[in-house]
Structure 1
Amino acid sequence: MLSQTSHEIVEATLPVVGENVAEIAQRFYAHLFAEHPQLLDGVFNRGNQADGSQQQALAGSVAAFADALVNRPDRLPDHLLSRVAHKHASLGVTPDQYLVVHDHLMWAVGDVLGEAVTHEVAAAWSEVYWLMANMLINKERGLYEAVDLAPDTIWSTWRVCERIPETDDVVTLVVEPVGDEKFMASLPGQYVTVRASMPDGVRQPRQYSLTRADDGRQRRFCVKRLHGHDAEGRPDGEMSNLLHDRVAVGDELELSAPFGDVVLEYTDRPVVFATAGIGVAPMAGMLSHLAQGRARRKVRFWHADDSVATFPLREQVIADLAELPDATLTTWYLDPPVGGSGEGAGETHTGYLDVGEVDLPADAEYYLCGPLAFLKLVRADLVERGVPPRDIQYEVFGPDLWLADYQ
């Protein structure tokens, strides 16, 4: 908890900091990378820096945490902290890096707010930072201990043993560890970080959801090729394009241990997966675990896409649903198939996913993944139909710019 003195100062300055937090985040990252350019090599995603999403995520997280400290000290945003901690652990973030971040973040606060940042104001916001940082450090320590690894040993080398085209823009990569070591199996819904050198020699990390239950001897993830270029002229998906165009069977990749806070709960309750496009990836992984374990749960899988041809992992999803005693697939296509979409394809609708067109299983748990607009719409519709927000989990690719769990 904040000290009483800091509480009063943060409460008084929260509005002005909140109004300027986006600019503070931009100045922070610019100053950080100017002093420590090595952090762009293997730690920070420079694509997220170029499009501003990382700055937005930092601003939203700090503002949400500070607001909670002042207005809801008994209900801190644990979901936010858990999500950040898992991302940090998948990158091998260390406690000493928090001091570097602190110094540059406090510099940015002073640079943006100027003389308003007195010694007392700086001390109060430094206290906010270290409360958040220490909670993250403790969570990350627990995550490293859970996989029996240290930040510098989460990485291992895996060899591509198979490439499976899913759609014109999506490929599944199947990888096996180099050597005889067996790794800890992933949990349903987790991801790994892939770290690879770009054409300019800079290593870049990207997270990819694991799409099938594994035993630690083989993992698979699918990669959607992104098109276009960022503000600095690099491909929007420099990692996705590299994995599509330059990585072949036999090549080696550096992978982290699996992490991720959106993990399928082991209960007997009905479960509903609602996905769009490549958002099917983590939910296909969850479904794979259910199929492998011959789960008796009622399962409803809803998916929205442009067409049958653009539905990634479609055959895997249909096959896994067929292994379960009470499981169905419902799809929405902007360009629906003529004359049905094949055996096991379930009920098909035209247009966008509409919760009003399906029955909601009683007392179900919901897992969502897809574009942000899709997540907002589906979650709002579910809540409007009486689903408790606590029963709706969502996964978002890249920095979380929504923070729905913390509002």
Structure 2
Amino acid sequence: MLSPESATTVRATLPVIAGAIQDITARFYDTLFADNPELLRDLFNRGNQANGEQRVALAGSIAAFATALVDHPGGLPGTMLSRIANKHASLGVTEEQYAVVHKYLFGAIGEVLGDAVTPEVAQAWDEVYWLMAETLIGLERDLYREAGRGWTRATVTERRDETADAASFLLRPDVPQSFLPGQYVSVRVTLPDGARQIRQYSLSNAPGRGDWRITVKRVRGESAPEGEVSTWLHEHVRAGDVLDVSAPFGDLTLPEGDGPLLLASAGIGVTPVLSMLDHLAVTGSGRRVVVVHADRSPGDHVHREELTDLVAALPGATLHRWYEDLPAQELSGPAPAAGRADLSAVDLPGDVTACLCGPLPFMRAVRAQLTARGVAASDIRYEVFGPDLWIAGD
């Protein structure tokens, strides 16, 4: 909890800080990487830096945390912090790096806002930063204690090209580890320029299957930087190769209990849903499960037949699909619809818990449809592949 004096100062200066926060984060990253180029080379996602998404996400998380502190004294935005902590743990972020971030972030605040940063303002926002940092450090310490820190080697036992732009890889880690359905692992590769870039990929099969499976969609450079790691994996990795992988992390996991579920995905966001459904099938679950998937076309739908088969294997599951480009030929499973996902006519239990994964516009649209139908916001969970721009937009 902020001290009363700091809370007053933060509340008064939040509009100014929020108005300048993207300039602050831009300056922060520029100076951080100028003095510590190894962080950009070996830790931060260079693609997200190039397109500006990481700066927007950082700005959003700082503003959201500060707003929560002054609007809800004594409480913290637990979901947001858990998501950040899991991402940090999957990257191997250390406690010492928080002090480095503090140095450059507060240097950037001073450079952007100048004389507006009085000693009282600096002290109040310093308190905000360290409340957030210490909370994350504690969460990450717990995650490392449970899952382990560091990297392990995993042998690729099989590669399968699923669509023109997606390939799945079966991985056999040197150190066997369990995971929760819906979690992801980091994969670290050394690129031709010597950079060691890290990306996260959901585990797309059930725990207990033996080998892990990740499914990687190649990121094309049409409207964003070419995906460095996805391109390298597609072009170079075959059965027998060895990859560096992290322990499993992530907080969008299969909700416990027997309550009804909505699992909604779009595009490559189907991967954590597949893990959840596979686990439900393996355990013989009779839960009511409504499965929703949207994609560009049947040919772009990764693991399309597998999704249909898994839903058919669950007595309490139903499948609803939408394709923006739907050809006339017959498809297996329940008949899909043309266009974008529309849940208005989907039969939903009143006490459903929803898990969403896919592009941000899809998840925002589905969330709006669910809340309009009376689903509580607290019962809607989501996973963002990449920087959490949902926070930045709220």
Instruction: Give the TM-score of the pair, scaled to structure 1.
Output: 0.93
Return the alpha-carbon distance in structure 2 between the equivalents of residues 321 and 370 of structure 1: 19
Q: Is residue 290–residue 348 contact of structure 2 (8 Å, CA) maintained in 1?
A: no
Q: 2:157 aligns with which of 157, 161, 166?
A: 161
Residue of structure 2 equivalent to 1:326: 316
Return the alpha-carbon distance in structure 2 between the equivalents of residues 382 and 340 of structure 1: 30
Q: CA deviation at 1:298?
A: 1.1
**Aligned-partner SS, 2:186:** strand
Return the alpha-carbon distance in structure 1 between the equivalents of residues 287 and 208 of structure 2: 22
Residue of structure 2 equivalent to 1:385: 373
Cα deviations by residue, 1:352-403 (Å, 9 ceiling, x for unpaired): 1101132112311111111111111110011101111111111111011112
Q: Is residue 185–residue 216 contact of structure 1 (8 Å, CA) maintained in 2?
A: no
Return the alpha-carbon distance in structure 2 between the equivalents of residues 265 and 146 of structure 1: 19
Where do residues 139-178 of structure 1 align in structure 2 (5 Å cutoff)? 139-147=139-147, 149-150=148-149, 153=150, 155-178=151-174
Where do residues 5-404 of structure 1 align in structure 2 (5 Å cutoff)? 5-147=5-147, 149-150=148-149, 153=150, 155-178=151-174, 181=175, 183-215=176-208, 217-228=210-221, 235-342=225-332, 345-403=333-391
Return the alpha-carbon distance in structure 2 between the equivalents of residues 339 and 94 of structure 1: 53
Q: Give the aligned residue type for 1:355.
A: L
Q: Give the aligned residue type for 2:365.
A: L
Return the alpha-carbon distance in structure 1 between the equivalents of residues 221 and 31 of structure 2: 28
Return the alpha-carbon distance in structure 1 between the equivalents of residues 40 and 223 of structure 2: 16
Deviant stretches of 4+, over 6 Å: none
Q: How many residues align?
A: 394
Q: CA deviation at 1:195?
A: 0.6
Unaligned runs of 5+ in 1: none
Return the alpha-carbon distance in structure 1 between the equivalents of residues 113 and 294 of structure 2: 45
Cα deviations by residue, 1:161-185 (Å, 9 ceiling, x for unpaired): 111111111110111124xx3x221
Return the alpha-carbon distance in structure 2 between the equivalents of residues 283 and 76 of structure 1: 28
C-alpha distance 50-99 of structure 1, shift in aligned 2 (>3 A): same
Q: CA deviation at 1:215?
A: 3.0
Return the alpha-carbon distance in structure 1 between the equivalents of residues 210 and 122 of structure 2: 50
Q: CA deviation at 1:3?
A: 1.4
Q: CA deviation at 1:217?
A: 4.2
Q: Give the aligned residue type for 2:142.
A: G
Q: CA deviation at 1:230?
A: 7.9
Cα deviations by residue, 1:188-224 (Å, 9 ceiling, x for unpaired): 1100000101111101000001100133841111011
Return the alpha-carbon distance in structure 2 between the equivalents of residues 220 and 35 of structure 1: 38
Cα deviations by residue, 1:122-177 (Å, 9 ceiling, x for unpaired): 11111110000000000001111112x23xx2x10111111111111111011112
Q: Is residue 156–residue 177 contact of structure 1 (8 Å, CA) maintained in 2?
A: yes
Q: Is residue 177–residue 217 contact of structure 1 (8 Å, CA) maintained in 2?
A: no
